[in-house]
Amino acid sequence: MADVGPEGGALWISPPDHMTLLAIPMDAFSVTEVITLSYSRQSNPQGDLQGMNHFFRLGTAQDGPGIYASQVLSTPARIVLAYRGSGGLVKDTIGLYQATASGWITDGITTVAQLPGYLVHCPC
């Protein structure tokens, strides 16, 4: 959990074998928000996908899971996912997915960079 204001900020979690970093740029928020980033335990097989045991939740202190801040980001945040190995997963399917009631989607998520061992995403 971190207070993130107009100056921007970063939160990260690093369970074994991977890391998740949320980078919020300067001036993304006009007032301070309390942002949370937490590891989420889920079964690894997710239908046709596998999660590489790399599940997380974003939230605000006021609103609980899912970023529903009291204000909209004026500049997109970046999410960096680092991992030690793909475990035999198909490279073209490695990415950031959002869980919904109907399944896993990538709508509204742009991959900015994909290099061995890490991905950079912009939810924009």
For the CA atoms of 57, 48, 101, 37, the dihedral, rounded to the nearest 10 degrees, stands at 0
Q: Running DSSP on this structure, what letter comes out for residue 12?
A: E
Domain locations in the chain? Answer: 2-122
What does the pLDDT look like over 53-108, one tens digit per residue?
A: 678 888 776 654 444 545 567 788 899 988 877 666 677 778 888 878 887 888 88
Q: pLDDT confidence of 47, banded at 50, 70, 90?
A: low
Alpha carbon separation from 32 to 11, 22, 73, 112, 123 (Å, rounded): 14, 16, 12, 27, 20
| Closest C-alpha to 83, from 108, 36, 109, 120 | 120
Q: Is there a contact between 15 and 82 (Cβ–Cβ < 8 Å)?
A: no
Residue 27 per-residue DSSP state = T
pTM (two decimals): 0.78
3-state secondary structure of 79: strand
Band (pLDDT 50/70/90 cuts) for residue 44 is low
